[in-house]
């Protein structure tokens, strides 16, 4: 069993700062090692069920929230995350917004217009929110059209990047941890098809958070130094994109800005994402929510200044405000509306109607690849709606007893 000091602050620091190296190095009989073994076999439901074995409550909640997002139960993931108050280390400051002075822009168009004249764009994510990866995918494709050619992803391990380049597609537990999310893998697939060179800038060995931030910045600076024509889209977690030296541990973006003498375009989407518990929403979100509409939005005042969430005010350039999710047949509207995907209804096996069953679609002839989509069906619910692009897929069911069963092969044209 994993044993971590139960002090919540120490536990939080452990969970967020050392999560990926902990997972990469897990061996033996530990709960994390068993989780890794299940996930390496592509058994997402068994991995999720094994979370109960993790002794530390904060770490267990972090695993649960992430596993639920992998299973496309994003509301449940948020509920676990919010209940345990696994929040980032910055405060949510109260903010008074002059709403009448704001002009709304479609987020990707606004970002691209500014990014044309920069060498580096940085976007953050919350690690349990899959919609952030879909937005990152759409932004990456738009940036590719204006010359961005390198995608630097915190979630990739160095050896995982080598495997990705070897096989040409994301594999379960083969490239990183967060990349096991179907939406993250779909983002990476789309980026590779569009011609991005991928880079893994996250160190897996460091003794402190300060060393981690410094090494991240050094690795990104090396990309820029090695290729003067490189235009880099950096995808990072939470506060790494803060440009200010306003804490004892300067973040990756601040260090890169100082050492490389560049001005990255830094974009927060964590502070602009609504919570299930509305009391946890950023104060600015409540004030602009009625203006957001149905698409991710950016706001600018009459002086030309972008609105930034209270969590990141003064530390990044802009915040993307996401609309509150609406669900269609159990699936979020942001997924349903994603272009190029077709809805496929898959019925749960009658024999397991009263059990939790995960239905997943994996690309035919790809060994151990991350599913294109999957959905965990609750007991007494019979149907999952998967959203798939063109291609041939194997439909596979995962059961609570740990078994997996091939259902059938389908083709989407």
- pLDDT, one tens digit per residue, over 210-242 is 999 999 999 999 999 999 999 999 999 999 999
- Mean pLDDT along residues 32-55: 92
pLDDT at 198 over 80: yes
Q: What is the mean pLDDT of residues 138-167?
A: 95
* Rounded distance between C-alpha atoms, residue 124 and residue 88, angstroms: 12
Same fold, 99-319 and 340-412: no
Every domain of the chain and the residues it spans: 8-83, 99-319, 340-412
Q: What is the pLDDT of residue 93?
A: 57
Binned at pLDDT 50, 70 and 90, residue 90 comes out as very low
pTM of the model: 0.93
Q: What is the pLDDT of residue 236?
A: 97
CATH node for 340-412: 2.60.40
Model confidence pLDDT, tens digit, residues 260-278: 999 999 999 999 999 999 9
| pLDDT the model gives residue 94 | 63
pLDDT in tens, 120-151: 999 999 999 999 999 999 999 999 999 999 99
Confidence of residue 5 (pLDDT cuts 50, 70, 90): very low
Q: What is the pLDDT of residue 18?
A: 56
Q: Is the pLDDT score of 9 beyond 80?
A: no
Residue 100 confidence class, pLDDT cut points 50, 70, 90: confident
pLDDT (0 to 100) of residue 95:
66
pLDDT of 330 reads 87
pLDDT tops 90 at residue 31: no
Chain segment 12-25, per-residue pLDDT in tens: 434 444 566 666 66
For residue 13, the model assigns a pLDDT of: 38
The CATH number of 99-319 is 3.40.50
Range with the lowest mean pLDDT among 86-90, 166-170, 372-376, 403-407?
Answer: 86-90
């Amino acid at each position: 069993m994993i044993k971590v000091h139960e002090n919540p602050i120490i536990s939080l620091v452990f969970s967020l700062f050392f999560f990926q190296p902990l997972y990469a190095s897990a061996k033996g009989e530990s709960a994390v090692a068993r989780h890794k073994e299940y996930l390496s076999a592509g058994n997402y439901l068994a991995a999720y069920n094994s979370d109960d074995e993790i002794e530390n409550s904060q770490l267990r909640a972090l695993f649960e929230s992430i596993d639920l997002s992998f299973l496309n139960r994003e509301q449940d993931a948020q509920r676990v995350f919010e209940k345990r108050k696994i929040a980032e280390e910055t405060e949510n400051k109260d903010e008074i917004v002059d709403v009448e002075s704001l002009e709304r822009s479609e987020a990707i168009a606004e970002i691209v217009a500014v990014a044309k004249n920069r060498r580096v764009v940085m976007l953050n994510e919350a690690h349990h929110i899959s919609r952030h990866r879909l937005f990152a995918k759409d932004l990456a494709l738009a940036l590719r059209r204006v010359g961005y050619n390198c995608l630097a992803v915190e979630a990739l391990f160095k050896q995982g990047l080598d495997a990705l380049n070897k096989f040409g597609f994301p594999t379960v537990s083969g490239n990183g941890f967060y990349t096991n999310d179907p939406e993250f893998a779909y983002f990476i697939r789309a980026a590779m098809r569009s011609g991005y060179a991928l880079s893994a800038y996250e160190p897996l060995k460091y003794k402190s958070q300060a060393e981690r931030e410094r090494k991240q910045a050094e690795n990104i600076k090396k990309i820029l130094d090695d290729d003067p024509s490189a235009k880099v889209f950096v995808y990072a977690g939470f506060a790494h994109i803060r440009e200010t030296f306003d804490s004892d541990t300067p973040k990756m973006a601040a260090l890169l800005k100082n050492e490389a003498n560049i001005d990255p375009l830094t974009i927060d989407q964590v502070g602009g994402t609504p919570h299930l518990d509305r009391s946890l929403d950023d104060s600015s979100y409540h004030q602009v929510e009625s203006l957001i509409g149905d698409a991710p939005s950016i706001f600018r005042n009459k002086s030309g200044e972008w609105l930034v969430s209270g969590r990141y005010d003064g530390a990044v350039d802009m915040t993307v405000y996401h609309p509150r999710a609406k669900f269609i047949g159990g699936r979020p509207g942001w997924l349903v509306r994603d272009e190029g995907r077709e809805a496929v209804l898959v019925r749960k096996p009658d024999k397991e109607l009263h059990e939790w069953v995960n239905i997943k679609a994996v690309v035919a002839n790809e060994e151990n690849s991350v599913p294109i989509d999957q959905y965990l069906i609750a007991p007494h619910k019979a149907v999952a709606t998967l959203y798939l692009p063109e291609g041939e897929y194997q439909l596979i069911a995962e059961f609570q007893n740990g078994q997996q069963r091939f259902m059938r092969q389908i083709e989407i044209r």
